[in-house]
Amino acid sequence: MNATNANFLTRHDFLIRRLHSLTGLVPVGCYMVVHLLVNSSLMNGPGAFQTNVNQIHSLGRALPLVEWLFIFLPLIFHAVIGVWIIRSGKTNTDQYRYLNNWRYTLQRWTGVVAIIFIFFHVFHLHGWFHGEWWLENVARPWGMANFKPYNAASTLATALQGFLWPIFYFVGIVCCVFHLANGIWTMGITWGVWTSDRAQKGASIVCCIGGIGLLIVGLSALSAAITTDVQQARNVEDAMYKLRVDTGEIVDNPEKRYHAPESLGDSTEEASPDEDVSE
């Protein structure tokens, strides 16, 4: 970081840290909670999960704009400033092994892990960018961009197959949840919401309970994705897709659907009209 940038950050230290704290809760933290809750709907079956994904993609052409304005740009800002704070801060856990000092250190290290996790998570499922040249020549040759919105549960389950991906997502979810829960507690101190020892202890308990609850939601979603029957989920998804296209609820978009490799033939047989897809 050059001297000009360092001087700018130093001169506006108070404002930048407040914006960093705020974006960690709104919109980044709020989005993470919604994201985990949507994913956890997979516990109710692929139909329930697909319904939620369809609602998100009903934004159509406005979806990329919403993603960049309310998710990616605030997330990038929060991550960049977070790295600056880590580099400019100092820990004292070697001299003072108090709980709050360890929380200070863990907040920063889980932030680093969260950045790496989100970076590869987006690449793994969405390929970062949606341009066809990028997807065909960069993302997919590396085994990335695996998620298809109109075959949500089946492509998510396929992407998580193997031994390493579930571990990667487990570690990432744990770090993201801790970073948010502990960050809310820290934010309350930063903004003067709880300043007394009693208030901080009470807030710590609330944040801990909330963090445990959110972690259960996140890991339940991960477990549901890993144990999903891919072919059964695909049958439900294809039947739902046909029904919603026929009724005009969604516009036919093959690019958002799973297509079996030609050498393997078409394995996406549609469910029979009598099959229940309302779960």
How far the first Cα of the chain sits from its last, in Å, is 52
Q: What is the CATH number of the domain that holds 260?
A: 1.20.1300.10
Domain of residue 127, residue span: 3-264
Distance CA 275, CA 239 (A): 8
- The answer to whether position 279 is within a domain reads no
Percentage above 90 pLDDT, the chain: 71
What is the share, in percent, of the chain residues with pLDDT greater than 70? Answer: 88
Tens-digit pLDDT profile for residues 211-258: 999 999 999 999 999 999 999 999 999 999 999 999 988 889 898 999
Cα separation of 143 and 164, whole Å? 14
User: What does 127-141 look like in DSSP terms, one character per residue?
Assistant: -S---HHHIIIIIGG
Per-residue pLDDT tens digits for 14-50: 899 999 999 999 999 999 999 999 999 999 999 999 9
C-alpha 110/C-alpha 175 separation (Å) is 5
Distance CA 190, CA 240 (A): 48
What pTM did the predictor assign?
0.87
Q: How many CA atoms lie within 13 A of 151 on its CB side?
A: 29
In a domain? residue 272? no
The tokens describing 70, both together, are 């309310």
**pLDDT above 50 for 266:** no
Q: In this predicted structure, what is the pLDDT of residue 265?
A: 44
Name the token pair of 197: 């020892």
Could you tell me if residue 139 is inside a domain? yes
Tell whether the model's pLDDT for residue 182 goes beyond 70: yes
Q: What is the domain count for the chain?
A: 1
Distance CA 189, CA 199 (A): 10
Residue 86 belongs to a domain: yes
For residue 260, the model assigns a pLDDT of: 77
pLDDT digits (tens, 9 = 90+) for 67-107: 999 999 999 999 999 999 888 765 555 555 577 788 888 99
